Amino acid sequence: MGRKLLTEHINVPGIDTFEVYRKHGGYRSVEKALKTMTPDEVVEEVKKSGLRGRGGAGFPTGMKWSFLAKPEGIPRHLVCNADESEPGTFKDRELMSKLPHLLVEGMITSSYALGANTSYIYIRGELLYVLRILEKAIAEAYANGFLGKNILGSGYDLDLHVHPGGGAYICGEETALLESLEGKRGNPRNKPPFPAVQGLYARPTVVNNVESIAAVVPIINDGGEEYAKIGVGRSTGTKLISACGHVKNPGIYEIELGVPVEEFIYSDEYCGGIWKGRDLKAVVAGGSSVPILPKDLILKTAAGENRLMTYESLSDGGFVTGTMLGSGGFIAMDETTCIVRNTWNFSRFYHHESCGQCSPCREGTGWLEKVLHRLEHGHGHMHDIDLLVSVAKQIEGNTICPLGEAAAWPVAAAVRHFRHEFEWHVTHAKQAAQPGAVYPAQGVLA
Amino acid sequence: MESTTATVKPQFSQAAQAEIARLFTHYPAERRKSALLPLLHIAQAEFGGWVSPEVQDLVAETIGILPIEVYEVSSFYTMFNLKPVGKHVLEICRTGPCMLRGSDELTANLERITGAKVGGTSPDGLFTLKEVECLAACGTAPIVQVREKYYEQLDTQEAVDAMLNELRNLVHRPLLPWEETGLQHTQQ
Amino acid sequence: MAKITFDGVEVEVPDGTTILNAARKIGGGIVPPAMCYYTPLKGSGGKCRACLVRVAAGSAKDPRPMPKLVASCVTPVQDGMVVENTTSQQVLDVRKGIVEMLLINHPLDCPVCDQAGECDLQNFAFEHGVATTRYEEERRTFEKIDIGPYIQLHMTRCILCYRCVYTADQLTDKRVHGVLGRGDAAEIGTYIENVIDNEFSGNVIDVCPVGALTDKTFRFKQRVWFTKPVNAHRNCEHEKCSGRVVLWYKGKDVLRVTARKDEYGEVKEWICNTCRFEKKETADWTIEGPAHVDRTSVISANHYELPVVNPQVIADLPESSVRDLENNPPLKLGAGRQ
């Protein structure tokens, strides 16, 4: 049983109230930071922890913080990215709705480290009910002197506000999020300038994922070095994995980084295996945008080593035989899953969510979806399969923001690992177009 | 665009005005446009689940920005309904993880029960069906969002019926926090 | 000042200059194409991805290459930067892909489009694209709409460069049109069929790189290459109007009036709607002389301007060469695209 740094008390009755949360050690990190540490010491501690951004990119949080520009006389901001929208990912929703004070506490400690006096939590608009929970927690924190003027007599002031989005996956991209927070369309910005120099209202800004901010709490409480002892290599600490799809026990699991993938899928402590006694076919391990891997490659690397739940192990083999930890959205697919249909579904998602600002993504995502739709519905040609790879390649790397890659990778990976299934959709078009039709496993194919 | 309230200029309720005043304090005075998305949510709740051009003009006027700045934004974000809707808008998640757990069947089932097609409203005006992308509740798929509530694990007929019955029995939409506390709910 | 190497040519530019503008300082065929960037319009650029280049060395301080191609129009130079455009096969291949993307939903109706002959997309596709398409799906279409008495919006042709939105933002204090919707369903619109009623609205026609916004007073009047551009000016009463225009003649008739564009197709001096739509008599104007049109442009098929290389001044040229030069004049070195 691994340590639970974030979710230890998640099922304690009333933990969403200030009183109960405080009784269980809540807000200690704020006390420790504001009373005994300088802001730079807090940043240093986060650097030592080796914490990497939990939103998907895995960029070291401490390093991101140290990039923040600090020009005299210009306010700076911390913005929490609670726009959780990556298909397969639902950890932040769970964390915020059940442990709202953990995020509030993390925001206070982190804002102090960055010298921000006004901070925002940008939450996706669909989660208005979670916004209400957070606003209640924030009001309690104000009432108890943890927010507002002169927090705990330290002389540090902080206002914290929650801001809803309006239904747009792209606002999870940090500059689109800032545009949205400014009341505009969620069009990602050209970079440079980066948010650390010109972010919200053209002021220096750090944008961090909910889970990253929450992780600052145990890091400050126990020290960065303690945190770094958990995990393997550069994958330190614990990570929330949201398991979904065809696992027996979907839900969020806080794991110590380094758990073998096989154990995560099959152990009763975690997913409990595949539902309905079926066999596993494929896994999308880090949210819909990371490459899909067939069963043999998700359990073991190409070199035959056990695949671990770490940034490094999951990406072992690059995109040829590996994938990414991403946001921790772990989507398992059983043997009855049609990969072409699933790929089409993901492509439809990215087509729907493209902001439309830059041409490769605006046009390319729609193109991919239409070709996949044809293939899935029995109107595909053999040359469509290579066309998909080619169009994906034309999008990847050529767009303003990473949505281009997010749209391209799943398609390229599906063709890479399941080309036979795409071909079957052409050679057996009528059969494949039937609702629920699945490519027959090898050997069964007559 | 057709509007159902073409003749009367819409106005925010007093409770909503108080909430809007509170929201404005969240942003620098010269950056009031930041309040646009929160205000559109309030407007949609206040004016029957959709934002007509007149309502959007009211939002523009309240903030002090041009109407086109509101149209650009309301048409970008999928949560804002730009056409009249039924009493309850069922937002059915259709993305991968929900599809793996039966969202296609759920959609077909809801179309059959309500008599509405996706994108349309049932003949009795009660339900509008809308397909949406991932709602971040993949662990309890398939799911439907109605206003601020998530109905999860709708993979049984009982669960679907329970949701629909609950909605049918709602006389008014649930009150929002600032409506419950009325004018007492002001900034901290 | 920063010194950079662009396609092997060194150039020194002030700090903060974009890669594209540094390349334009060098000029000629190495300048990356730009479909959305427009120097006078703050905030423009970065969207069409036509100008992507490879940064082979980021700066003298950090000479590592940049991991992805960058949009040269919005990426500032660093001292010691090494940039590859026409010298990089990767850039040329990606550009071919960008042409394809911009064209898959374009109607390719050049034969009936007023913009043909002076269309950035047409030139871009001709120079960088391929002749065939791999796109088999249905193309996106929109209804044509009139926005006011002078301007027609043909959204189907739009490449969403946002230039017209920035123009309205910059020239008027009450913008009524913008980009509505998102993704490939995004469109330029007024939402409630508003009329763009502003004395400077006509400038959106000039900034539009394609035939999405066209001059209704010129509609189907003449192919641009059969008209003759002449520089002219008048004392315009509007403070913001330069009064400096190009009159497009067919015979003795002024068929249309536009602002003057530089070699990169950019208007530096805006004109008002009165000058553009209502002054169509030669008597309204002081004529300056033929407007320069790039030799590579189809518009110069008229030969109204003297050739840049004048065979008469080369004394010993054999008769056959003179004829050949007149028929096939050499490309003018340093010229951009029209």
H-run or E-run covering B127: strand B127-132
A355, with CB counted inside 10 A (0-12, 13-18, 19+), is: buried
What is the domain extent for residue C89?
A: 2-99
* Mean pLDDT within C158-171: 93
* C190 lies within 8 A of chain B by CB: yes
Half-sphere exposure of A141 (CA within 13 A, CB side): 32
Rg of chain C on CA atoms, in Å: 21
What is the pLDDT at residue C294? 76
Q: Based on the domain organization, do C110 and C211 belong to the same domain?
A: yes
Distance from the first to the final alpha carbon of chain A = 46
Q: Are residues C26 and C87 in the same domain?
A: yes
- C172 has a chain B CB within 8 A of its CB: no
The closest of C234, C231, C238 to C292, measured between CA atoms, is C231
The domain of B97 spans 88-168
B55 belongs to a structural domain: yes
Q: Is the same domain home to A177 and A257?
A: no
User: Is pLDDT at C147 greater than 90 in this prediction?
Assistant: no
pLDDT of res. B186: 40
Same domain, C258 and C151: no
Q: How far is B45 from chain C (nearest CA, A)?
A: 21
Which pLDDT score, from 0 to 100, does residue A438 have?
86
CATH of the domain at A263: 3.10.20.600
* Tens digit of each residue's pLDDT (9 = 90 or more) over C203-256: 999 999 999 999 999 999 999 999 999 999 999 999 889 999 999 999 999 999
Same domain, A237 and A199: no
- pTM to 2 decimals? 0.93
Residues B102 and B164 in one domain: yes
Q: In total, how many domains does chain C have?
A: 3
Query: In chain B, what residues touch C174 (CB-CB under 8 Å)?
Result: 66
Chain C residues within an 8 Å CB radius of B71: 178, 180, 191-192
Phi, psi at C149, each rounded to 5°? -75, -15
Residue A1 lies in a domain: no
Is it the case that residue C322 has pLDDT exceeding 60?
no
- Same-domain status, B69 and B95: no
Q: In chain C, pLDDT over 70 holds for what percent of residues?
A: 86
| Same domain flag for A422 and A303 | no
Q: Both C158 and C227 in a single domain?
A: no
Which residue reads 């798929």 in tokens? B141
Given the DSSP bridges, would you call strands A292-294 and A329-334 parallel, antiparallel or unpaired?
Answer: unpaired
Domain, as residue range, for A132:
18-229
| Low-confidence stretches of chain A (pLDDT beneath 50) | 443-446
> Domain total for chain A?
3
CA gap A382, A390 in Å, rounded: 14
CB contact under 8 A, A250 and B36: no
Tokens of residue C6, six digits = 């662009």
Q: Which of A299, A334, A369 is the last residue of a domain?
A: A334
Distance CA A301, CA B29 (A): 55
| CATH code of the domain in which A65 resides | 3.40.50.11540
Same domain, B124 and B151: yes
Q: What is the pLDDT of residue B8?
A: 80
Question: Is B158 contained in some domain?
Answer: yes
Per-residue tokens: A282: 């494929």
List pLDDT tens digits, range C268-278.
999 999 999 99
User: Least CB-CB distance to B141: which of A164, A244, A337?
Assistant: A244
First to last CA, chain C: 30
Q: E strands of C8-135, at which residues?
A: 9-13, 52-57, 70-71, 82-84
Looking at the structure, tell me whether residues C228 and C326 fall in a common domain: yes
Query: Whole-angstrom Cα distance, residue B23 to residue B56?
Result: 17
In this structure, the answer to whether residues C202 and C151 fall within a common structural domain is yes
Together in a domain, C75 and C127: no
Per-residue pLDDT at C87 exceeds 60 = yes
Q: Is A356 helix (H, G, I), strand (E, B) or coil?
A: coil
Q: pLDDT tens digits, residue range C20-61?
A: 999 999 999 999 999 999 999 999 999 999 999 999 999 999
| B101 marked as part of a ligand binding site | no
Number of structural domains chain B divides into: 2
Residues A216, A296, single domain; the answer is no
CA distance C53 to chain A (A): 10
Q: Which of A356, A367, A371 sits opposite C183 (nearest CB)?
A: A356
Q: For A107, which DSSP code?
A: H
Inter-chain residue contact A88 with B138, CB threshold 8 Å: yes
How many Å lie between the alpha carbon of B136 and the closest alpha carbon of chain A? 5
d(CA B145, nearest CA chain A) in Å: 8
Chains in contact with B, where contact requires at least 3 CB pairs less than 8 Å apart = A, C
Domain membership flag for residue B111: yes
Chain C's closest residue to A168, CA to CA, is: C182
- To the question of whether residue B1 is assigned a binding role by annotation, the answer is no
Residue C172 has a pLDDT of 82
- Is residue B23 classed exposed, middle or buried when 0-12, 13-18 and 19+ CB atoms within 10 A define those classes? buried
Query: At B33, which CATH number?
Result: 1.10.10
Residues in chain B predicted with pLDDT less than 70, given as ranges, are 1-7, 181-188
User: Do residues A55 and A159 both lie within one domain?
Assistant: yes
Same domain, yes or no: C36 and C52? yes
Angle at A194 between CA A192 and CA A200, to 5 degrees: 130
- Let me know how long chain C is: 338
pLDDT of residue C15: 96
Whether B104 maps to a domain, the answer reads yes
User: Does residue B138 have a known ligand-binding role?
Assistant: yes
Residue B25, in any domain of the structure: yes
Identify the helix (H) or strand (E) that includes residue A169: none
pLDDT at residue C323 tops 80: no
H runs (alpha helix) in A290-358:
295-299, 311-314, 318-321, 339-353
Task: Tell the residue number behind the tokens 């069947």, with chain if given.
Answer: B105
Q: Are the beta carbons of A356 and C184 separated by less than 8 Å?
A: yes
CB contact under 8 A, A398 and C137: no
C-beta atoms of B68 and C176 within 8 A: yes
Alpha helices in A243-310 (DSSP H): 261-266, 295-299
Asked if residue A134 and residue A56 are part of one domain, the reply reads yes
pLDDT at res. A257: 97
The answer on C166 and C245 residing in a single domain is no
In the prediction, which pLDDT does C198 show? Answer: 83
CB atoms closer than 10 angstroms to residue C45: 26
Asked if B136 lies within 8 A of A126 by C-beta distance, the reply is yes
CA dist., res. C315 & res. C203, Å (int):
46
Residue C195: band (very low, low, confident or very high) from pLDDT cuts 50, 70, 90: low
CATH of the domain at B156: 3.40.30.10
Residue at A22 is within a domain: yes
The reply to whether A111 and A216 lie within a common domain is: yes
In a shared domain, residues C172 and C246: no
For the segment C184-206, the average pLDDT, to the nearest whole number, is 83
User: For residue A415, is it within any domain?
Assistant: yes
Looking at chain B, which residue has its C-alpha nearest residue C177? B68
**pLDDT digit string, tens, across residues C104-139:** 999 999 999 999 999 999 999 999 988 889 999 999
Interface size A-B, in CB pairs within 8 Å, comes to: 158
